[in-house]
């Protein structure tokens, strides 16, 4: 398995336990820092990753995350794809509603993660699984007006 | 839930949560990576400590915490709710600015939790003076 940090290439990390969630947070933090994300951007992305990885574990029954550094010329970004083969999300609008939980949580993970990143996509099929893909871009300093 | 790391203060990298009693106040210092199972254990431990020691305040120092997600947020809110039922007030001290900005966007407002910029001010909120008067004329 490649290390995102060393090779700046894609990496895949398992999500099967509490300890894996902690490891995912650390690896996302490191990758974001190396791509030039500021502290607030890092914190937002790591928090989103923590929410989505926990959903993969708790609701999806485990899976993995694919971490892909992106280089779009002047801006660099990080794409995270959280993949599980769990029950899927039947009603996505409901799942994305602040405060909705099918049990136990605060219901802020999915909707909150969406607010914390620039791009957010859910691909879910009932009975087959869920993939949530998010992308965040490092803001160039000094701030540029061009939006990638 | 996850089958591992759910029992006791375990978890990688020698993580421990120091809990200190200063008079009527429990000072809990969170640092680094807190696994979900450990956070839930901590909640039980603190609630037990409050009822045994009859403290009237709890200060949770999170200045060493890099992220607060909705799981840890819920644990903190439940610690405060449990403390309130046991007649103790909880103050969250030292939240990093990046964490505060992120929590707002996440939609986590932590109602029922008092906040303070640092442990000293949290103690003052609870009526405990820790200032030594250094620098005052
Ligand atoms: N990977 C997933 N697989 C199946 N269901 C999911 C997944 N992620 C989220 N959900 C559903 O969406 C709901 C909302 O998710 P979230 O906002 O993270 O809240 P919480 O995890 O606190 O319940 C969950 O309660 C669950 O029903
Ligand atoms: Mg969630």
Mean local confidence (pLDDT), A95-117: 96
Domain range spanning residue A99?
Answer: 3-137
Does A38 map to a domain? Answer: yes
pLDDT tens-digit map of A67-101: 999 998 888 999 999 999 999 999 999 999 999 99
pLDDT of B6 strictly over 80: no
Alpha-carbon distance B118 to B90, whole Å?
13
B66: chain A residues, CB-CB within 8 Å: 29, 43, 46
Interface with chain A: mutation pick from B8, B12, B70, B104, highest number of A CBs within 10 Å: B70
Does A118 map to a domain? Answer: yes
Number of domains in chain A: 1
Q: How many residues in chain A?
A: 148
Percentage above 70 pLDDT, chain A: 89
Pocket residues: Cβ below 6 A from ligand 1: A 51, 55-56, 59-60, 84, 86-89, 95, 100-102, 105-111, 130
Identify the pLDDT of residue B111: 79
Of A4 and B42, the structure prediction assigns the larger pLDDT to: B42
A110: chain B residues, CB-CB within 8 Å: none
Of B109 and A56, the structure prediction assigns the larger pLDDT to: A56
Place A103 in a pLDDT band, splitting at 50, 70 and 90.
confident
Helix, strand, coil percentages (3-state) for chain B, rounded to 5, are 35, 20, 45
Atom of ligand 1 nearest to the CA of A111: 17
B2: chain A residues, CB-CB within 8 Å: 16-18, 57
Mean local confidence (pLDDT), B21-48: 91
B134 CA distance to ligand 2 centroid (A)? 47
Alpha-carbon distance B119 to B112, whole Å?
18
Alpha-carbon distance B130 to B137, whole Å?
18
Interchain contact A98–B (C-beta under 8 A): yes
pLDDT of B1 strictly over 50: no
Identify the pLDDT of residue B9: 38
| Average pLDDT across chain B, whole number | 84
Place B15 in a pLDDT band, splitting at 50, 70 and 90.
low
Alpha-carbon distance A109 to A49, whole Å?
10
ipTM: 0.88
Q: What is the CATH number of the domain that holds A26?
A: 3.30.565.10
Identify the pLDDT of residue A100: 97
Which two structure tokens, joined as six digits, stand for B62?
């999170």
pLDDT tens-digit map of B69-100: 999 999 999 999 999 999 999 999 999 999 99
pLDDT of B12 strictly over 80: no
Does A33 map to a domain? Answer: yes
Alpha-carbon distance B121 to B102, whole Å?
23
CATH topology of domain B19-135: Transcription Regulator spoIIAA (3.30.750)
Place A9 in a pLDDT band, splitting at 50, 70 and 90.
confident
């Amino acid at each position: 398995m490649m290390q995102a940090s060393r090779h700046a290439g894609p990496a895949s990390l398992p999500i099967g336990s509490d300890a894996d969630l902690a490891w995912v947070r650390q690896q996302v933090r490191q990758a974001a820092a190396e791509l030039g994300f500021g502290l607030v951007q890092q914190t937002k992305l790591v928090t989103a990753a923590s929410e989505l990885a926990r959903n993969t574990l708790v609701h999806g029954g485990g899976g993995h995350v694919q971490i892909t550094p992106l280089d779009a010329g002047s801006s660099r970004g990080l794409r995270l794809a959280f993949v599980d083969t769990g029950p899927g999300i039947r009603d996505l609008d409901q799942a994305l509603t602040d405060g909705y939980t099918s049990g136990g949580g605060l219901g802020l993970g999915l909707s909150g993660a969406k607010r914390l990143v620039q791009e957010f996509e859910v691909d879910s099929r009932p009975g087959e699984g869920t993939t949530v893909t998010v992308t965040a871009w490092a803001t160039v300093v000094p701030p540029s007006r061009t939006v990638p | 839930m996850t089958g591992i790391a759910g029992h006791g203060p375990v978890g990688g990298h020698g993580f421990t949560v120091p809990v200190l009693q200063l008079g009527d106040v429990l000072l809990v210092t969170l640092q680094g990576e807190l696994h979900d199972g450990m956070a839930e254990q901590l909640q039980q431990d603190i609630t037990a400590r409050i009822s045994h020691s009859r403290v009237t305040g709890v200060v949770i120092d999170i200045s060493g915490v890099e992220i607060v997600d909705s799981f840890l947020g819920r644990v903190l809110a439940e610690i405060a709710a449990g403390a309130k039922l046991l007649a103790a007030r909880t103050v969250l001290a030292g939240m990093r600015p990046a964490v505060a900005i992120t929590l707002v966007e996440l939609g986590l407002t932590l109602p029922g939790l008092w906040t303070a910029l640092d442990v000293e001010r949290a103690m003052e909120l609870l009526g405990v003076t820790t200032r030594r008067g250094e620098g005052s004329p």
